A and B are shown apart, each in its own frame.
Chain A
Amino acid sequence: MHQSAENETCAPAKSYPRKVVFSICAHIQQREMSPPEPVFVTPAGGGSEQSWMAGLLEHPGYDEERLRRVSEQLSCREVQAGLLLSLMGQPQQYCYPSLFIYGHRASGKSHVVNVFMKDLELPHVTVSCVECVSVALLFEKVLRSFFGCDAASLLPRSPSLSDFVRIYRQQSSQSPAKQTRYIVMEKAELLRDADVNLLPALLRLQELVKDNVSVILLSEIVWDKFRPNTGCFEPLLLHFPDYSKGELQQILSTDRHPSYSAEFYSSYINILLGVFYPVCRDLRELRHLAALNFSKFCEPVAAGKVKEMDTHKLWKNIEPHLKKAMQTVYLREVSSLQWEQMEEHESGALRGLSAHTHVELPYYSKFLLIAAYLASYNPARTDKRFFLKHHGKIRKTNFLKKNEKTSNHLLGPKPFPLDRLLAVFYSVVDSRVAPTASIFSQISSLVTLQLLTLVSHDDQLDTPKYKCAVSLDFISAISRTVNFDIVKYLYDFL
């Protein structure tokens, strides 16, 4: 299909090395199955394996000086970069219509693509799918960066896909692509939530607009989760594996502090990885942690107590500190700014975010919340046993039904109607309470505070249903303040 589309265009048609492409595909498919290992594919444009090993990219049609600069920036991603470059082909050649690059967070996807685009000065537009709250934004951004603002203003008020294609064709016939134009879509997984026709259309955009354009999708999840039921053009898949420990070490060592030697910094990174690598492999987080803790690490050196090369002493100094960091900053319990201040003042007791769980509530709100909790976690049948004065002797074993054997606390809160909430409320609260309007408004304010959740639809006025969204610890703390023994009223703890 697209072969014929190519032939119609007047641009210097690129001869597609079909075989190579398919072999690459096969490789990629293989690698999906098996754990990633360095696989070298002979690139279409030549270039020996030897040069790849040295981390240098080579491809005809690109300035060598530039390629050298690019490969300097892409440490540890040489294989993927080379593969990508060969898929892109020479600038004026047609590229494969759509590429799909996937890999975990911080595995260098955007970095590699962006470095290529920027440093090789390729015509491109980078769009983050989070940002495109409407497709109109996406279309406008693409048109504006390829053809200027005038083209973007041609779009109607709420443009459809065909509007976009029409204007794109119209513009590209006036200024046809001399080099391949790239549309880079970051966080492409969000495209699945967009219009159904958007993703299939983007995948074969080259064919639709009859221009030398290629779409690169970047995502954290695999292609299988994208494929629409109606079927679509299959993009070329390219996997970015996670960095190994060695690679992480190499990358992290590059952003060293200017006033210390590279060896010193890399020994620091080594220690840091020793502590954090078992729990965190996210490059971004690690880099953040490295930056935060470095000042502590070089403290003894700056004070003149320890020489730079005395790794053991440095390790002794930093290790407890890093352990502490693992419990606080890494979990974002404490912000980086506070962490730094803490280091300065050495005040050990800084409470993290989750330490502040105490919530002050008005008296009746507390009881409403308690009633909601009871209604959520007790089966409705047992209300009689808990709240009726002369309930007689009903043992737990008598009630037990088959499905209730598991603890209600393991199953999570169940929805309950407003009536039941109020009934429980009136039997729980000790004094007589008039059913005032503010009692009802307290229920809705508990909902806005996210202590209760409204289960039924907003529009349903008749019998709204709620769920209690607080934990047992929280409700016990609340009931302690009003001298209410909640455990006595919970079916699970009978």
Chain B
Amino acid sequence: MATSSFSRGCFVFKPSAKKKKMAVGLERYFTHGCEGSESSEVRFKICLDLWNKVKMETEALQDELNRNILDSLLEFTRKCSSTRDHSDWASQMRASEIPTAALVLGVNVPDHDMTFQSLSDLLRHSVTPHVASLQAKECAALKHLMKRVLERLMSTVVAVGDEEEEELQQTDTELQKSVHCSLTALCDWYISKTKKSSCSTPGKKRSSSVVDGQHQQPPVVIIFKDLEAFNPRVLQDFILICSRYIQRLPLMFIFGIATSPSTIQHMLPNSVSSLLCIELFQSLSCTQHLTTVIDKLILTSSFPFKLSGKVMQVLVSIFLYHDFSVRNFIKGLQLALLEHFHSQPLSSLCCRKNEARLNVQQLGPADLERIRQLPSFKRYLKEQEEQDNLMTDDAHLKDLCQKLIKDLHKYHKNYYPILRCLHCLTSSLPRYPLGKQIRELHLICLEKNVWESEDYQSAMKLLKMLAKDELISLLQTCAEVLQPVRSKKMKNALVQLEELLAKLKLLDAAAEVGPSVEENLTSPVRNLQKKTDLFQLQKMLLEMNESRRSKRMSPFEILRNEAVEFVDSLVKNHLSPPESKPLYEVCYYTSSATVRRHLNATPRTSIQAALSSPYSYIQELKERGNDRRMGSDSVLVVLVDQNQAVYCGVKFTLRLSANNSLKTEDGTVSNAAPDICIAYKLHLECGRLINLYDWLEAYSTVVSAAEGSNPDSDGFGKVDEVKHARFIRAVSELEFLGFIKATRKKTDHVARLTWGGC
């Protein structure tokens, strides 16, 4: 977006109302600039379907995960509203406290919205129609806070039933005069409201029908979404006011806390917090949430779309290192999904098995050629003999594709159960050789043959040392994992596993062979105590080692080894990395750089890259600019990197010189580069303070060389008005970008704000 202003500042671009009807143009956006546009419609449909499925799953998951805490919160609100009616002595004595739920949600603030949304929905549905949720940024002062509370409460109730239409009008006019923004108004409104509802026949009430005889007075719930961000002063005053009305108005607070509950004590003095009756609710930690999301969305064969190890790594590290936000993780998944279907023409095959078969038949000659070019396919061909046939015969290739796609699906079907089994077995080992979380193991498996890694070897060694009951319980959980899988190979594996388990259990009945082994072991130890010589001791130990190794194995040990071998064979058969499978490109999205650039933008690096090597941007722009009018000598181009959302303020004044290549071999500045690039390069050579005049001189020399004037002539390097103006402009642009700033130390100098030279 461009402005006509030259001054520095923030400009607001309000979205035009037309953008509302995005859905119409959605497909056009997708197909625009899309690779292999002939199959774009199919791909768009698959992509949309998959995304909707992801969305539904995550929402269901979120509800599932929050159920516990929401249920206990609902219980709390109900209890609070019911104890109020009690007339027993003790509850009367503390009726002046405002019941408050402190909901600790963790620092992943972007995820909280969904939680609060479902919370307020649930509250409206089952406890009370009067719910208002507040955000700190809209409540800078007490006045605003009050206004928001009144607006939310009164209008929500108005929205519930049609018969209160007139009241909407009334409240509207009332609220227009902010004079009435006091809790007295709310009180009056509440009393009239409850009176009305108690008078009206039960049939008339629709949405708030839950409000039965017992809840004649539904509580008024006020949710503070981000407690930390509220101004403590405002909050204190509001609580003080509320406590004055608590006898007439059954108020209730819910505090959303991102850090720890002790913030309440930091924000509220004792005189205020003594007005509250705080109960603590702790929500699920975000890492657990992520684990379940990954479990449901990624470690499953029901989604044909897959992330490669690197992309997965990027998404997980953004989560762990930067924001802890599950919502952002899913957004990243969405981006990968969209990019995959947008950029990979063969992604039309990335769907359910049956559809994929159909789509194989639809493939055009261009697509088939693309398949032949796939690295994984080439590798596959090398292993096969009859390649010439495949390179020419389309029908044959289609048949093969069908088979390969089927194989890929089978691979996924076996991969995940075995992955889970391996995780079961190794996740409880000391020092976690293969990671604590299943996602770590998954990442290892995606990258290389897991069985070749050292960690895997050590894990297997540790497995061979497990005690019997541990081994049995682990194998049993493995069997449970394999149980629901409907695949021939997995069923076979299950049968074998169960045989092993049966054998292990039979051992219990068999007689123990312990004593003889013990004797073997103890005798050298007894000898050991006599010796004191170091050499002898060493020899002794070596002997002991030998004897232990050569020792006859007990039946349990034999079985244990058998079990471990069995697991090992399963791993070797099924956990090979996807790269080894032909046509894996169809399902796996691999471009981690794109994802990183979009989600974890580096504005500074982009600016510096643009300034030090402008050719990479300008080449692109030239290509794009070809269809535009190129008559003028100077074209104003707005530089937009991939992460254009981060900044779009960098403007280049480009002199598009026709023949000069901007690229120089030795990395020095080309004198045909844009002014700002030249100025930038020159300023890198300076120290902390830059003399403006020297800078100008150097600049003018470089630019004169670009103009092709004779270095020996008189005018060379002379500063004329145009050059001066161009220089000033470049300098002010650099200042705008934050590389230099004016300094008071020396008037004709500017201070450099970055370190390092060229």
- Pick the contact of A130: B93, B226, B237, B265 (CB < 8 A): B237
Closest residue of chain A to B267, judged by CB?
A: A450
Chain B hits for A363, CB < 8 A: 320-321
Beta-carbon contact of A362 and B244 below 8 Å: no
Cα distance A139–B143 when bound, in Å?
A: 16
Give the segment of B47-55, B194-202, B255-263, B541-549 that binds chain A: B255-263
A359 within 8 A of B: yes
A491 within 8 A of B: no
Closest residue of chain B to A338, judged by CB?
A: B279
Beta-carbon contact of B260 and A359 below 8 Å: yes
Cα distance A436–B603 when bound, in Å?
A: 7
88-124 of chain B: CB within 8 A of chain A: 89-90, 93-94, 97, 99-100, 102, 104, 106-107, 109
Cα distance A332–B643 when bound, in Å?
A: 49
Contact digits for B175-196, partner A, Cβ 8 Å, 1 yes 0 no: 0011101111000000000000
Chain A hits for B604, CB < 8 A: 435
- B130 → A minimal CB distance (Å): 20
Beta-carbon contact of B94 and A362 below 8 Å: no
Beta-carbon contact of B109 and A336 below 8 Å: no
93-139 of chain A: CB within 8 A of chain B: 105, 128, 130-131, 133-134, 136-137
- A107 → B minimal CB distance (Å): 14
B285 within 8 A of A: yes
B142 within 8 A of A: yes
A292 within 8 A of B: yes
A10 within 8 A of B: no
Contact digits for A292-315, partner B, Cβ 8 Å, 1 yes 0 no: 101100000000000000000000
Contact digits for B316-341, partner A, Cβ 8 Å, 1 yes 0 no: 00111111100000000000000000
Greatest chain A CB density within 10 A among B107, B261, B278, B286 is at: B107
A258 within 8 A of B: yes
- A104 → B minimal CB distance (Å): 11
Closest residue of chain B to A332, judged by CB?
A: B273
Beta-carbon contact of A257 and B89 below 8 Å: yes
- Pick the contact of B321: A332, A362, A435, A448 (CB < 8 A): A362
Beta-carbon contact of A291 and B278 below 8 Å: no
B229 within 8 A of A: yes
Cα distance A278–B106 when bound, in Å?
A: 39
Beta-carbon contact of B183 and A131 below 8 Å: yes
B600 within 8 A of A: yes
Q: How large is the interface on A (under 10, 10 to 19, 20 to 34, 35 or more residues)?
A: 35 or more
- Pick the contact of B260: A131, A155, A356 (CB < 8 A): A356
- Pick the contact of B179: A136, A292, A335 (CB < 8 A): A136
- A312 → B minimal CB distance (Å): 25
Chain A hits for B99, CB < 8 A: 337
Cα distance A284–B96 when bound, in Å?
A: 10
Cα distance A271–B223 when bound, in Å?
A: 40
Beta-carbon contact of A133 and B181 below 8 Å: yes
Cα distance A257–B184 when bound, in Å?
A: 33
Beta-carbon contact of A448 and B600 below 8 Å: no
148-183 of chain A: CB within 8 A of chain B: 155, 157
Beta-carbon contact of A360 and B106 below 8 Å: yes
Contact digits for A33-52, partner B, Cβ 8 Å, 1 yes 0 no: 00000000000000000000
Cα distance A370–B576 when bound, in Å?
A: 42
Beta-carbon contact of A438 and B322 below 8 Å: yes
Beta-carbon contact of B323 and A438 below 8 Å: yes
Beta-carbon contact of A295 and B90 below 8 Å: yes
217-260 of chain B: CB within 8 A of chain A: 226, 228-229, 237, 240-241, 244, 258-260
Beta-carbon contact of B143 and A362 below 8 Å: no
Contact digits for A266-305, partner B, Cβ 8 Å, 1 yes 0 no: 0000000000000000001101101110110000000000
Beta-carbon contact of A258 and B89 below 8 Å: yes
A342 within 8 A of B: no
Greatest chain B CB density within 10 A among A128, A136, A294, A336 is at: A336
Chain A hits for B319, CB < 8 A: 362
B264 within 8 A of A: yes
Closest residue of chain A to B142, judged by CB?
A: A133
Chain B hits for A133, CB < 8 A: 141-143, 146, 181
Beta-carbon contact of B263 and A450 below 8 Å: yes
Chain B hits for A288, CB < 8 A: 93-94, 274
- Pick the contact of A357: B178, B181, B241, B260 (CB < 8 A): B260
Beta-carbon contact of A131 and B182 below 8 Å: yes
A347 within 8 A of B: no
Beta-carbon contact of A451 and B259 below 8 Å: yes
Beta-carbon contact of A332 and B274 below 8 Å: yes
B270 within 8 A of A: yes
B601 within 8 A of A: yes
Beta-carbon contact of B106 and A436 below 8 Å: no
B632 within 8 A of A: no
Closest residue of chain A to B137, judged by CB?
A: A448
Greatest chain A CB density within 10 A among B97, B178, B182, B259 is at: B259
- B610 → A minimal CB distance (Å): 15
Beta-carbon contact of B262 and A362 below 8 Å: no
B271 within 8 A of A: yes
B605 within 8 A of A: yes
Greatest chain A CB density within 10 A among B89, B319, B601, B646 is at: B89
Contact digits for A341-371, partner B, Cβ 8 Å, 1 yes 0 no: 0000000000001101111111111000000
319-339 of chain A: CB within 8 A of chain B: 331-332, 335-338
Beta-carbon contact of B228 and A337 below 8 Å: no
A234 within 8 A of B: no
A434 within 8 A of B: yes
- A326 → B minimal CB distance (Å): 14
Greatest chain B CB density within 10 A among A133, A338, A438 is at: A133
Chain B hits for A128, CB < 8 A: 240-241, 244
- Pick the contact of A291: B94, B100, B646 (CB < 8 A): B94
Chain A hits for B465, CB < 8 A: none
Beta-carbon contact of B286 and A287 below 8 Å: no
- Pick the contact of B271: A105, A136, A336, A365 (CB < 8 A): A105
- Contacts A137-B182, A353-B280: A437 and B600 contacting too (C-beta < 8 A)? yes
Beta-carbon contact of B324 and A360 below 8 Å: yes
Chain A hits for B179, CB < 8 A: 134, 136-137, 140, 155, 157
441-474 of chain A: CB within 8 A of chain B: 442, 445, 448-451
Cα distance A361–B323 when bound, in Å?
A: 8
- Contacts A134-B143, A359-B259, A449-B259: A255 and B181 contacting too (C-beta < 8 A)? no
Contact digits for B593-629, partner A, Cβ 8 Å, 1 yes 0 no: 0000000111111000000000000000000000000
B277 within 8 A of A: yes
Chain B hits for A442, CB < 8 A: 322-323
Contact digits for B291-331, partner A, Cβ 8 Å, 1 yes 0 no: 00000000000000000000000000011111110000000
Beta-carbon contact of A356 and B322 below 8 Å: no
Cα distance A29–B220 when bound, in Å?
A: 47
Beta-carbon contact of B262 and A357 below 8 Å: yes
Cα distance A130–B601 when bound, in Å?
A: 47
Beta-carbon contact of A353 and B228 below 8 Å: no
Beta-carbon contact of A337 and B603 below 8 Å: no
Closest residue of chain B to A367, judged by CB?
A: B321
Beta-carbon contact of B321 and A356 below 8 Å: no
Chain A hits for B643, CB < 8 A: 437
Beta-carbon contact of B274 and A285 below 8 Å: yes
Chain A hits for B646, CB < 8 A: 437
Beta-carbon contact of B229 and A448 below 8 Å: yes
Cα distance A360–B100 when bound, in Å?
A: 23
Cα distance A359–B273 when bound, in Å?
A: 22
Beta-carbon contact of B322 and A360 below 8 Å: no
Cα distance A227–B470 when bound, in Å?
A: 79
- A431 → B minimal CB distance (Å): 10
Taking A134-B179, A439-B322 as known contacts, 15 extra A-B pairs with beta carbons closer than 8 A to each other, sorted by chain A number, are A128-B240, A128-B244, A157-B179, A288-B94, A288-B274, A295-B90, A335-B279, A354-B261, A362-B321, A363-B320, A434-B600, A434-B602, A450-B228, A450-B229, A450-B259
- Could you list 5 A-B pairs, sorted by A, with CB under 8 Å? A291-B93, A337-B99, A354-B262, A354-B265, A449-B259
Sorted nearest first, the 4 A-B pairs with minimum C-beta distance are A291-B93, A438-B322, A363-B321, A133-B143
